[in-house]
Amino acid sequence: MAGIVMTLILCAVSALFLLPILLVLINSFKFKPDVINSPFALPNAESFAGLSNYTNGLAAAGFFKAACFSIFITVFSTALIVLFSSMTAWFITRSRGVLCRLLYFAFAFAMIVPFQMVMFPLTFTANRLHLDNPIGILFVYLGFGAGASVFLYSGFIKSVPVAIEESAIIDGCTPVRAFFSVVMPMLTPVSITVAILNTVWIWNDYLLPSLVIGTAYRTIPVTVQYLLGGHASIDMGYAMAVITAALVPVVIFYFFCQKHIIRSVTAGAVKG
């Protein structure tokens, strides 16, 4: 009986989370007056707009150009975070010095610092260092994503036997080669988890692109915001179509990769 009640509760909670997405999807196939006047109604013969909202809305918003910027920033930022966070976590975990312990606590502390505290200094520094472009923002994301990523990597690396690395070094590997040839393959579960979490975050992020690179290189969240704009002339059918198109890639990516999160958590629990 308790299992049935818990299942019903979880289904209700899931429905609450899915309802906004379902409403956006439904309204993306309706004309602007119908979206405004009857947002909860299903499309009918009079309100159904077909794919016109997608073809016209995506073109009006410059969606495909924004998608290119979003893909570039998301892929390369995530790659930098995975590479440098894993190397950093391995070094500070295997070293016993006081400095490494301080670095570990610094990365852990970075996770709890509110973004609002560093928002204006970040914008000023990014402009002075000429990071206000799609390449420069990669390093900004690296700085913000390193805290949680190093923390996750450090916890996993502690469960990796040191003897494996020592055997590789005895066989002639340098420490760098031992890391990439021996340690990095063993970090695959947590690396996938870090990649998934950072991909979802960076793809959906609005604040950093709007503050650092502004309107010159609009990502998808910035494009959606500018499409809405707060003007009455905005076609809400277009807006719903653009929002749906922005959701689809990351939902598909997360759907196919979510099993790796469970696998990495399970692996860490068993090894620990």
Residue 209 to residues 7, 24, 41, 188, Cα–Cα distance (Å): 40, 24, 35, 29
Looking at 119-123, 202-206, 251-255, which range is the least confident one? 251-255
18 contacts 12 by C-beta, under 8 angstroms: no
Cβ-based neighbour number of residue 137 at 10 Å: 26
- CATH architecture designation of domain 53-271: Orthogonal Bundle (1.10)
| H/E element, 218 | none
**Phi, psi values for residue 171, rounded to 5°:** -75, 0
Domain residue extents for the chain: 1-50, 53-271
Most confident of 23-37, 77-91, 181-195: 77-91
pTM reported for the whole predicted model: 0.84
Please determine, for residue 70, whether its predicted confidence score (pLDDT) is greater than 70: yes
Q: What is the pLDDT of residues 87-118, one digit of tens each?
A: 999 999 888 788 888 888 888 888 888 888 88
Residue matched to tokens 């290119």: 68
Tell me the two tokens of residue 119.
């928002």
The answer to whether the Cα torsion of 30, 32, 38, 40 is positive or negative is positive
